[in-house]
Structure 1
Amino acid sequence: MKHRRLGTGTALLTAAALGSLALAPAATAVEPTTATMSFECSSFGSGTATLTATQDGTAATINLSTSAIKSPFPLSANSISSTLTLTKNGSGTATFTGSANPAIPAGATVSTGPLNGTVAAGDSLEAESLTIVVFGISVTCSATSPQAPGPFVF
């Protein structure tokens, strides 16, 4: 008799656990996770950029590395303040900001991120401009090509 009750109890616990998994919210993910594009940064140059996005619920981050800007001197870690402006769903805008970067040697391409922003399910974001500030000097870059393979969809 004890075995039958134990078996019934185990079956009920297993069913409850599986039911909880079925009701759990689906994991959020951004697609694509990596995109490339081109930037024009006026007298600072032009070149390609690689953007990598991640998502955790409504919080999202984008890391960016671009050959459009090369550092004329060594930059210490976390010395760049960045704002990435993206077209949101084809009409509005979203901004991702941050002050994180790796140490960058003189002559190397600029990398910044994570840049933090907020997203909603179904948001489609495509980079349109990047502004970085280093030692009080502001550099604004404008997108000259669409993101490939396409916008980030959250």
Structure 2
Amino acid sequence: MRRIKLGIGTALGAAALATGALTLAPTATAVTPTTATLTADCGTFGSGRATLVATQDGTSATITLSSSAIKAPIDIPAGSVNSTLTLSKNGSDTTTFTGSSNPAIPSGSDVSTGPLTGTVAAGDVLEATSLKLVVFGLITVDCTATSAQSPGPFTF
């Protein structure tokens, strides 16, 4: 009888610990939408459509951007583009996502950059407004959004 009570007590204790651990575990966060498109003007470098893909892990977020607005004039090695994506934040402020982890981009191909990293808070609503690319530390490309994000801003 004593072993039965001990077994039941141990099982109940384990269940209580598991329930407590689930209660204290951080809640999963998600950004919606995860993919958005817009059009951008990059001056003499071109204009066109850009696709942004966002992910979130707690207060950290990443955005990867690819665009037909800019074509690589030469082969661009991985990690040689410093990017700053500026986004409107909650309609009254701005925030930036930065990075230099572009993939290798062959000459004539669409430019892609990211993941660009930034910090977000629950409820932040972000919409891309501009992008600055610095290639090889020498060539600066400034792009400005000419349309709103579709299907809408990122909500974290």
Q: Give the TM-score taking structure 1 as reference length.
A: 0.96
Give the residue type in structure 2 aligned to 1:106. S
Aligned to 2:124: 123
SS at match of 2:37: strand
How far apart are the structure 2 equivalents of 1:69 and 1:15?
57
Residue correspondences, number? 154
Aligned to 2:154: 152
SS at match of 2:52: strand
Task: Report the Cα offset of residue 3 of structure 1.
Answer: 1.9
Give the residue type in structure 2 aligned to 1:81. N
Task: Report the Cα offset of residue 4 of structure 1.
Answer: 2.7
Task: Report the Cα offset of residue 7 of structure 1.
Answer: 1.7
Aligned to 2:61: 60
User: Between the two proteins, what is the percent identity of the paired residues?
Assistant: 63
Aligned to 2:11: 10
Task: Report the Cα offset of residue 140 of structure 1.
Answer: 0.5
Q: Which consecutive residues of structure 2, in runs of 5 or more, have no partner in the other structure? A: none
Q: Give the TM-score taking structure 2 as reference length.
A: 0.95
- Bigger shift: residues 16-25 or 70-79: 16-25
**1:123-142 mapped onto 2 (5 Å cutoff):** 123-135=124-136, 136-142=138-144
How far apart are the structure 1 equivalents of 2:103 and 2:77?
7
Per-residue CA deviation, residues 25-54 of structure 1 (Å, 9 max, x unaligned), is: 211111111111111111111111110111
SS at match of 1:76: coil
How far apart are the structure 2 equivalents of 1:5 and 1:117?
51
**1:62-81 mapped onto 2 (5 Å cutoff):** 62-81=63-82
How far apart are the structure 2 equivalents of 1:84 and 1:38?
14
How far apart are the structure 2 equivalents of 1:55 and 1:121?
10
Task: Report the Cα offset of residue 8 of structure 1.
Answer: 2.3
**1:42-121 mapped onto 2 (5 Å cutoff):** 42-121=43-122
How far apart are the structure 1 equivalents of 2:8 and 2:110?
63
Where do 4+ consecutive residues of structure 1 move more than 3 Å?
A: none
Per-residue CA deviation, residues 97-131 of structure 1 (Å, 9 max, x unaligned), is: 11111111000000000111111111100000001
Q: Which consecutive residues of structure 1, in runs of 5 or more, have no partner in the other structure? A: none
How far apart are the structure 2 equivalents of 1:92 and 1:18?
40
How far apart are the structure 2 equivalents of 1:120 and 1:17?
28
How far apart are the structure 2 equivalents of 1:23 and 1:99?
35
